[in-house]
Structures are given as structure tokens and as C-alpha cells.
Amino acid sequence: MITTILKAADEKKAFDIKLLDIKKLTTITDYFLICSGNSERQVKAIAKGIEEKMYKLGYILKNKEGHNVGRWILLDFGEIVAHIFYKEDREFYNLERLWVDAEDIDVDKFITYN
């Protein structure tokens, strides 16, 4: 599941991709994927790419927020919640600061960059 969601974000040119292990800090989910896009259109494309890839592999999307606006889209797959941000909104909300005690997982072991 982790590899699928990370590769889907990477394929749509998401940048500054972070994977936070929060399972020791909360019961809402195990991981947060946080990534950015340069435009609302790209943010929507990243979200759509993730949604389609996860669906093809049988993962159920439990909730989806923010797609109409395209500045912060949340995709809840249960054990992973993806936060896809327009870059300025990511800086403003700064989820990484809010979850500073989370373990930052090295995404390079899941994604092979060209």
C-alpha cells in the first residue's frame, strides 16, 4: 500500500514527498503522506492519480475532502491518509510541524527516482 501511494504521487510529479509514521501518536491512521503540487490543476491530478492507482489494487477510499478547490486534498485510505497541497497552502498549514514527533520515513526506499 505504501509503495503504491508513493509511486502514484511521484508519477504525477508531486514534490517534497514525506511519509510520516504516526501510529504511536494517534489512532486515526498509521501514516500521513504529505506532498505538494505547483498549481491547483497539478494538485487535482496528483489526487486523481493516487485515487485511480489505489482503486485498481482494491484499496477503498474511505473519505475525500477538498477536491473541488484543489488547494489541499485529503484522501483517506484507512491506514494511510494522503494530504496533497498547493505549495503555499502546505507552508501555511505546516502539518510536519504539527506532527513533529512522528517518524519521518525515507521515501527513497519505496520510490526509485530516474
pLDDT digits (tens, 9 = 90+) for 3-26: 999 999 999 999 999 999 999 999
Q: Is residue 47 part of a domain?
A: yes
Q: By residue range, what is the domain housing residue 84?
A: 2-108
Query: pLDDT tens for residues 39-81?
Result: 999 999 999 999 999 999 999 999 999 998 889 999 999 999 9
In a domain, 113, yes or no: no
Burial of residue 85 (CB within 10 Å: 0-12, 13-18, 19+) is buried
Count of domains forming the chain: 1
State pTM to two decimals.
0.93
Residue 10 sits in a domain whose CATH number is 3.30.460.10
Assign 113 a pLDDT band (cuts: 50, 70, 90): low
